Copies of this chain bind each other. A is one copy, B any other.
């Protein structure tokens, strides 16, 4: 019957039937092939046939596991954003202890996560233009990070460490957007880009000045 539509989670057009099955390794093989090939050529130059053959199956069989090429990428993206979320964790909870160090830690961890999967991230950025599903997922995770940063900024203002100014949400959007685009340019290596070893400190500097108007924000409320 209609295969590959039931999906594991809430997303409608991704994955395969849930539960155990002998074909689990095939699914993994497809994902592995995709990630491997993304290291060699752009996503658009990888055909479904390439993914299928790489996984040792025929093209029609590919469709048993994924509804489309984009769905494979989406699964890959899911992993990366989950890893990023885990890496970011609760770095911002004890912000007041050492704001500069905490913000830097946050940016550095994202940098490490994305840098470790640059092929996937780059491919997603490309596909985002044409694929609504990828766009939606990315918007979702971005919204989450924006909210976290927004809350942190408001916290800093509440304790008097950061001055009032732009609406915290607008500022959070601007800063997150900057990071996204700067990382993209750095990893893609086309056009004007910040050197990879400098990028964390460059971003950090803009974040700190935009939030605190200084690169050495004050520590703890009454210390």
Contacts and interface: CB of A to CB of B under 8 A. Distances in A.
Copies of this protein in the assembly total 2
Contacts of A201: 166
Given A42-B130, A129-B129, A165-B205, A182 B173 contact: yes
Nearest to A165: B205
A211 to B, nearest CB: 9
B135 A202 contact: no
Q: How large is the interface on A (under 10, 10 to 19, 20 to 34, 35 or more residues)?
A: 35 or more
A213 interface: yes
A214 interface: yes
A217 B44 CA distance: 47
Interface in A161-199: 165-166, 170-171, 173-178, 180-182, 185, 190-194, 198
Most chain B CB atoms below 10 A, which of A165, A182, A203: A182
Interface of A: 42, 44, 125-130, 135-136, 138-139, 142-143, 146, 165-166, 170-171, 173-178, 180-182, 185, 190-194, 198, 201-203, 205-206, 209-210, 213-215
